[in-house]
Amino acid sequence: MDLATIIGIVSGVALVVTTIVMGGSPKIFVHVPSMMVVFGGATAATLISFQLKEVLGVLNVVRKAFFSESTDNVALINRIVELSKKARKEGLLAIDKEVNQIEDAFLRSGMEMVVDGTEPELIRNIMETELSYLMERHKRGQDIFSALGEYAPAFGMIGTLIGLIGMLQNLNDPTQIGGGMAVALITTFYGALAANLVFNPIAGKLKNRSEEEVLVKEMIIEGVLSIQFGEHPNTIQRKLMNFLSPKQRVFEE
């Protein structure tokens, strides 16, 4: 898990809890019915919009986004350059065995097609369809969390309205206003917290992670096709190096 994420979650929760405890009445902030109306309502609205399998599948997407390692781009480029050298020296058929040992599934499947003699146009077509499918899945994950991030504050407001209306309706004793308002506002608090410390940051994470993965996959497509075209390993390296940040490049060159 990325260090930033851990720091973010721990410090975010710690800050909010500390602020609540310092306020002197932490008990009121643990209110199960309020939690249910906010989280349940936001989940219900999201379930209406999406299919069950998508909503369940999203946990998988999140798990990957937070726990899977970033690809080591430099190692990947070196791998591709090696393959291109061998292919140039010994021919495309000779690298058959090498290809089976490639750990990156996307690169391996691309190289397998090269070895099989598939036409470049079809390889590009298949790899890009695969890539666009991946983007689509990521996009769906972001959409689900963005929906939760919009519905949570909305149901927070709905909960507060229910509380306010009930309280105002039965208002005999003005000294009760304070307590009633406090309870009514808890759902707004939950909604704001859920959206800004959970749902929206996760949606952001999925978006950023997706952009990274797409970049890597585009680099792999470029590399696979360059090998097939028999380009010079130096040219391939130069091309792919462009996908790295300048800092990484300096290190490796």
- Give the nearest distance from C-beta 238 to a second copy in angstroms: 7
Residue closer to a second copy (CB basis): 32 or 101: 32
Among 148, 186, 224, 227, binds a second copy (CB under 8 A): 186
Query: Is residue 29 part of the contact set for a second copy (CB under 8 A)?
Result: yes
- Give the nearest distance from C-beta 202 to a second copy in angstroms: 7
List, as one string, the DSSP characters of 171-207: ---GGGHHHHHHHHHHHHHHHHHIIIIIIHHHHHHHH
Q: Pick the stretch among 77-85, 91-99, 200-208 that binds a second copy (CB under 8 A).
A: 200-208
What mask, x for binding a second copy by CB under 8 A, covers residues 8 to 27?
Answer: xx-xx--xx-xxx-xxxx--
- Give the nearest distance from C-beta 187 to a second copy in angstroms: 9
Residue closer to a second copy (CB basis): 6 or 94: 6
- Give the nearest distance from C-beta 89 to a second copy in angstroms: 22
Residue closer to a second copy (CB basis): 98 or 222: 222
List, as one string, the DSSP characters of the chain: --HHHHHHHHHHHHHHHHHHHHTT-GGGG--HHHHIIIIIHHHHHHHHHS-HHHHHHHHHHHHHHHHSPPP-HHHHHHHHHHHHHHHHHH-GGGGHHHHHT---HHHHHHHHHHHTT--HHHHHHHHHHHHHHHHHHHHHHHHHHHHHHHHHHHHHHHHHHHHHHHHHHT---GGGHHHHHHHHHHHHHHHHHIIIIIIHHHHHHHHHHHHHHHHHHHHHHHHHHHHHTT--HHHHHHHHHTTS-HHHHHHH-
Contact set for a second copy, span 144-183 (CB under 8 A): 147, 151, 154-155, 157-159, 161-171, 175, 178-179, 181-182
Among 61, 76, 102, 193, binds a second copy (CB under 8 A): 193
- Give the nearest distance from C-beta 178 to a second copy in angstroms: 3
**Number of amino acids touching a second copy (CB under 8 A):** 92
Contact set for a second copy, span 31-90 (CB under 8 A): 33, 36-37, 40-41, 43-52, 54-55, 70
Q: Pick the stretch among 72-80, 85-93, 94-102, 190-198 that binds a second copy (CB under 8 A).
A: 190-198
What mask, x for binding a second copy by CB under 8 A, covers residues 110 to 129?
Answer: ------------x--xx--x
Taking phi over 0 as left and psi of -120 to 50 as alpha, with beta for the rest, 245 belongs to beta
